Each structure stands twice: as structure tokens, then as C-alpha cells.
Amino acid sequence: MTAIVVLGSTNMDLVAYVVRAPLRGETVTGREFRTVPGGKGANQAVAAARAGGNVAMIGAVGSDAFGRHLRHTLEASGVDTDLLHTADGPSGTAHIVVDDEGGNAIVVVPGANGTVTALGPGDETLIATADTLLLQLELPLSVVVEGAAAARRHGVRTVLTPAPARALPPELLAATDLLVPNEHEATLLTGLTDPEAAAGALLAQVPEVVVTLGARGTLYANRDGARIHVPAPRVTAVDTTAAGDTFTGALAVALGEGRPVEQALRWASCAAALGVRREGASTSMPYRPEIDAEYARVTAAPPDELPRPAPERHPAETSAPATNSEIGNPS
């Protein structure tokens, strides 16, 4: 079983389901409201654990009911939370509006996540035991850089999701093995709108890149000249909120198990496709038997011959993996 450490955020997602998102200054009536455990770090941890990884989480929750709920959710999915600290004050929150097309808009309030500014006692020791370290940018940048450097010292593969999108310091990129931006983030990092050109430019800074392209699938590139495009499974989406996190968590498991890159991308895309057919962030993420069954289904016949899976609620056609940050600040 591949060992994965996630250094990242935990948020309680406050989700309103609406026919359409309000315009600026407008009030709309929602159909439903839910509180759902989320945060990019926690989402990736749950996704990896449910996909079969041995996962531990480094981060912080608040000393409130949300914090207790977030910790319980991680533990219920099999994530080790021994180094998930409880900070005085509120937990992080993400305020999400999900429309009938499955798209979303998100505002993140860091809360306890903002207290994680440096690695604490035991954090580097835990990172050293991992096969893979998963990083995102919802924690203070100082600890993300420190975590990547610790992984590099111990020969641990570092996978970075550069979201929320921002300029990245050279020392972080130098310690990153695999960068997983979406198309928008790849453009922000390089100034190039063509995904293949952007991936090529990023290879000057990192050895491997996976650019997620929404309905067009994923593009993999490495410094040896490999270019692999994997089409996205066709699905009918309910909620794309954590699709990118589901994809990344599952990809970390697949690569850690030694799967060939193309197979790993397809398997992770199947995980994301399953997730967008359900509402919620971490609650939507599939377990390994579901992913294996979906992978077998989509690889058994050409895509045009496959029946389209039915959604579980409020359908809207899309493809996966669509990352959160393609449609809003990711959770």
C-alpha cells in the first residue's frame, strides 16, 4: 500500500444549491443548503485514502464544531490525523454556490489553516516515511515551501496542485516532482494559452506536468519528451466541487503503486468522473472498488460505444476531470 502524506487545508464547505449563481448585487433563492467537509488538503487526503492509499494528514482544524466534524470525516475515511492540530479559533470555511449545470463559485476563509506557518514537531519525520507528499496552496506559502524541501531531503515524491492560482517561488518549483495545474493555472504560471506549450514551458522548472483540461481530459508531459493525452470520461455531472482533488488523490495512489502513467491518468479520471455524479466535496469521493469497476467499464469499449452513466441528482452534462479551480477558488 502506497504511503501518502498530505500537507494541506481543511475547510467546512457551506454549500447553497441554486438554479443559477446570483449576479453582483442580486439575491436569488436557493433550493438546498448543506454543510460538507472539504478543503483541498482534506479532499485530497480522503480521495487518496478511499482509493487505497495509506494516508496521513498534516494541518489544523479549529476548536469548534466544524473542527471536530472535519477530523471525524478524515478518520472515518481512514486518514491518520495524529499531526492534524487543533488551533484556537474557527476552522476554515468555504462558501460555495452550486448551480444546476454543476458549476460552482467559491469563497475560502482560511481560519485555522492560517495558523500553519511552519512544520511542527514530528512533521518532517512523518514526511520522510512517505512515498508521496501532496501539496496545495490553501496553507501559508512558507509551510508549503518548507514541506517540499523536507520531502526533497528524504527522496519523497512531491506532487503540487498550484491552487488557488498564484506566482510560485523558484525554490518551491525546484522541490516539486509533479505539477498538476488546470488549464487556467498553467496559463497564469507561463503566460501561454496553449496547454501543450504551457506544459513545455513548465518543464523548465519541474520534471513532470499534468495539465487538466476539463472536457478535453488531461495532458501529461515530461522532460524526456513524452506527451500523453488522455480523454475525459463522458459523464452527467451533479457537482464538480472536488473533482480536481479526487483526480489528484487517486493519481497519487496509482503512481505510487507503480502503474504506467497513461493507466494512472485513466484510473484517476475515472475516480473524478464518479465523484462529479454526486453532491458534496469529500462526501462525493469514490472508494477503490468503485474506481476499479468504472475503469474496467471505460476501458472495455471505445468511448463512443459506452452508455452514459446516470447522475444521482440534478443532472447537467459535462466531462471529468474538471478541477475546482477551473470554475472558482478550489475547495
What sections of the chain are H helices per DSSP?
40-50, 65-76, 123-128, 141-153, 170-174, 183-190, 195-202, 243-256, 261-275, 288-299
Q: Which three cell numbers stand for residue 176?
A: 516539486
Q: Is 245 a catalytic residue?
A: yes
Determine the length of the chain. 331
293 is in an annotated binding site: no
213 is in an annotated binding site: yes
285 is in an annotated binding site: no
111 is in an annotated binding site: no
182 is in an annotated binding site: yes
131 is in an annotated binding site: no
Please check whether residue 130 is in contact with residue 152, taking contact to mean a CB–CB distance below 8 angstroms: no
244 is in an annotated binding site: yes
42 is in an annotated binding site: yes
241 is in an annotated binding site: yes
Report CA-CA distances (Å) from 18 to 24, 274, 283, 318, 326: 15, 22, 19, 18, 19
234 is in an annotated binding site: no
138 is in an annotated binding site: yes
Single out the residue of 236, 241, 215, 238 nearest to residue 325, CA to CA. Answer: 241
* Catalytic hit among 100, 245, 292, 304: 245
200 is in an annotated binding site: no
- A 10 A CB-CB count for 262 gives 14
- For residues 295 and 312, give the distance between their C-alpha atoms in angstroms, rounded to a whole number: 19
Q: Which three cell numbers stand for residue 191?
A: 503566460
Asked if omega into 170 is within 30° of 0 (cis), the reply is no
Please check whether residue 279 is in contact with residue 80, taking contact to mean a CB–CB distance below 8 angstroms: no
Q: Which residues are annotated as a binding site for substrate?
A: 11-13, 39-43, 138, 245
- Residues acting as catalytic residues: 245
Q: Which residues are annotated as a binding site for ATP?
A: 182, 212-217, 244-245
Q: Which residues are annotated as a binding site for K(+)?
A: 239, 241, 275, 278, 280, 284
Q: Which residues are annotated as a binding site?
A: 11-13, 39-43, 138, 182, 212-217, 239, 241, 244-245, 275, 278, 280, 284
